Amino acid sequence: MRIITGVLAIALATLTVVSCKDNAKEHDNEDGHHTEMKNDNPDMNHNNSDGHNDKDNDSSFNTGDIDASIQKNPATTPIIDAYILIKNGLVADSKNDAANGGKALLIAFSNFDMSKLSGETNKEYMEIYENAKEQAEHIVKSPIDHQREHFEILSTDIIDLIALIGTEKTLYKDFCPMANNNKGAYWLSEVKEIKNPYFGAKMMKCGSIKKQIN
């Protein structure tokens, strides 16, 4: 019995070590950083210093529910274009370019015609708008590290906006498992190539495409 018990204990220990190594391989690449999270939760919620939570808990739409093909709505194009300017500024590690994108986003939101929205859609839009406006204002005046923090929250707002109203653009919903203190964060890109706005040149290729929109 002692021999059998000893053999079983050794076998269990061996399986545990193998499992840990396999798990580590899923998270690390040749450069020593995470590139893809196999079991990331697309409905992940996060908190931030401004007290904003993802709308996934109490809304009829959320960051994980964008269909591959959605309502083709050109009305959101100026907003998305300005968001992309912010994203590209952060990819290039340029505080000024990101700030200019923030200014463009504030203008795009101010020019958006809400008269075509009705009922619950209007209410949902206003919630998104108020929070996105706050994030854009911070991006305009903040250092780049804080710009990236607010961009993370802004990305949730823009994803929610697209889910609510639609877009005519083809976009890629990307995920970085190392952003947000290794909790992971999404962003939207106009190109297939991974260009990480949360780390810029430090980890440009860190991340993966989770969904194509349109």
Give mean pLDDT in consecutive 10-residue pieces for the chain, a chain of 214 residues. 43 35 36 36 38 36 54 94 98 98 98 91 96 98 98 98 96 97 97 98 97 94
Record the tokens describing residue 13, joined without a space: 């220990």
pLDDT value for 69: 61
Amino acid at 155: S
pLDDT value for 58: 34
Q: Going along the chain, which residue ranges are E strands?
A: 171-176, 185-189, 208-213
pLDDT value for 118: 84
pLDDT tens figures, 14-33: 333 333 233 333 333 333 33
Residues 166 and 10: their CA atoms lie apart, in Å, by 56
Strands across the sheet containing 208-213: 185-189, 171-176, 208-213
Residues 52 and 66: their CA atoms lie apart, in Å, by 21
Nearest Cα residue to 158 out of 116, 118, 197: 197
Cα-only R_g, the chain: 20
Record the tokens describing residue 41, joined without a space: 């939760």
What are the boundaries of each domain within the chain? 34-213
Q: Taking a C-beta distance cutoff of 8 angstroms, is the pair 138, 150 a contact?
A: yes
DSSP H/E element including 15: helix 2-27
pLDDT value for 28: 39
Question: What contacts 153, CB < 8 A, 6 or more positions away?
Answer: 48, 50, 52, 131, 135
pLDDT tens figures, 91-107: 999 999 999 999 999 99
